[in-house]
Copies of this chain bind each other. A is one copy, B any other.
Amino acid sequence: MGAITAREAKPTINDVAREAGVSKKTVSRVINRSPLLNDATREKVEKVIAALGYVPNPQARALALRRNFLIGLIHDNPNAQTVLNVQEGILSAIRDTEFALVVRPVNRRSPRMLDDVRAFLEQQRLFGVLLMPPISENDELARVCEELGVGYVRMGSAQLDSGEHLVESNDREAVRKAMEYLVALGHRRIAFVAGPEGFRSARERELGYRDAVKAAGLPQGPELEAAGNYTFETGKLAGDKLLDATERPTAIYSCNDEMAAGVLHAARERGLSVPDDLSIVGFDDSPIAAHIWPPLTTVRWPVAAMARTAALKLIDPGHASGQPALFPSIFIERGSAAPPRR
């Protein structure tokens, strides 16, 4: 007992003002940390606020300020862990602020996608949104945000937008380095499992592969390439194709970890030992990477850090608004790659 029984009318700014014997504007100043305020009155008001358990009503604030404190995450990423990492990153940025995170998955393939997002933004009037890959690569979507006056920041693996609207990773270089690792182990015949068409990240990773192939003068050709769309199943199919080729590769680079797991699956079905008969390297460092056997050598995509920075850009435009914030990926050496046999 003794505690404030919520349920009945929460105290408002007026209650605080009355109780403290000041005007509500003064209370408002206390809440908003106005600098021109007598320390004595501030303390007095703060005491009353604590006693009453007063918490400003965000809806009223939103109305008066004509902006709310909701930031949205718009995504259509198939990888659950990636999405959750992004959510974590955003939340770490808005912790101890009055912002909250609203999630909004969309269907990239739906013809109504843009209209859906538009309706969502018009209805909810968010403070701003974060666009995560691959939907972040859609320029029309960015234009809709612009048009509706909703702040936005895009996460991408290429320079999709101007600095204030972008947080970037360099997938191309990361893949090139991973490939150089395989080359250093002695591999020459390295195959590639591509990501889905229309994914900028997939394209960048492919370019990294090609860079390395060219630089090291490795063999190339259709027998050493397979399509995929970031799922385990397509990875398995790609593995089937690549491993049944007349001249089998000694290593396979896969555009993401899920597909790498599929390739591993295909190898195992053929009685191939990984990494002795076949080296496999992935991308993302998703949890699956550490959970399969052997643990997957891969590239960690610092998606949570990117999301955090993106959120900071959104809520505090002053925050390093200049540069595009480039996040390097990190190579993670585990057990799925080794020198080729013999």
Which residues of chain B are within 8 angstroms of A88 by Cβ–Cβ distance?
105
A81 interface residue per 8 A CB criterion: yes
Give chain B nearest CB distance to A293 CB in angstroms. Answer: 5
- Which residues A1-30 have CB closer than 8 A to chain B? 6-7
A288 touches which of B105, B149, B288 (Cβ 8 Å): B288
- Which residues A50-96 have CB closer than 8 A to chain B? 55, 57-60, 62-63, 68, 70, 80-81, 83-84, 87-88, 91
A265 interface residue per 8 A CB criterion: yes
Contact with B along A284-326 (1 / 0, CB 8 A): 0001101111000000000000000000000000000000000
10 contacts between A and B (CB under 8 A): A6-B148, A58-B124, A70-B100, A80-B80, A100-B102, A100-B104, A232-B290, A261-B291, A288-B288, A292-B292
Q: How many copies does the complex hold?
A: 2
Interface of A with B (CB < 8 Å)? 6-7, 55, 57-60, 62-63, 68, 70, 80-81, 83-84, 87-88, 91, 98, 100-105, 120, 122-125, 147-149, 232, 258, 261-262, 264-265, 268, 287-288, 290-293
Interface of A: prevailing SS: helix
Give chain B nearest CB distance to A294 CB in angstroms. Answer: 9
Give chain B nearest CB distance to A283 CB in angstroms. Answer: 16
Which residues of chain B are within 8 angstroms of A105 by Cβ–Cβ distance?
87-88, 91
Please tell me if the beta carbons of B292 and A291 are within 8 angstroms of each other in the complex: yes
Centre residue among A59, A83, A103 by max chain B CB count within 10 A: A59
Give chain B nearest CB distance to A9 CB in angstroms. Answer: 10
Task: Give 10 A-B pairs besides A101-B104, A258-B291 with Cβ atoms closer than 8 angstroms.
Answer: A6-B147, A57-B125, A70-B100, A87-B105, A101-B103, A265-B293, A268-B293, A288-B288, A288-B291, A292-B292
Centre residue among A84, A124, A258 by max chain B CB count within 10 A: A84
In whole angstroms, how far apart are the Cα atoms of A39 and B91 in the complex? 47
Please tell me if the beta carbons of B59 and A87 are within 8 angstroms of each other in the complex: no
Please tell me if the beta carbons of B55 and A59 are within 8 angstroms of each other in the complex: no
Residues A123 and B63 in contact in the complex (CB < 8 Å), given A100-B104, A291-B258: no
Which residues of chain B are within 8 angstroms of A63 by Cβ–Cβ distance?
57, 59-60, 63
Give chain B nearest CB distance to A81 CB in angstroms. Answer: 4
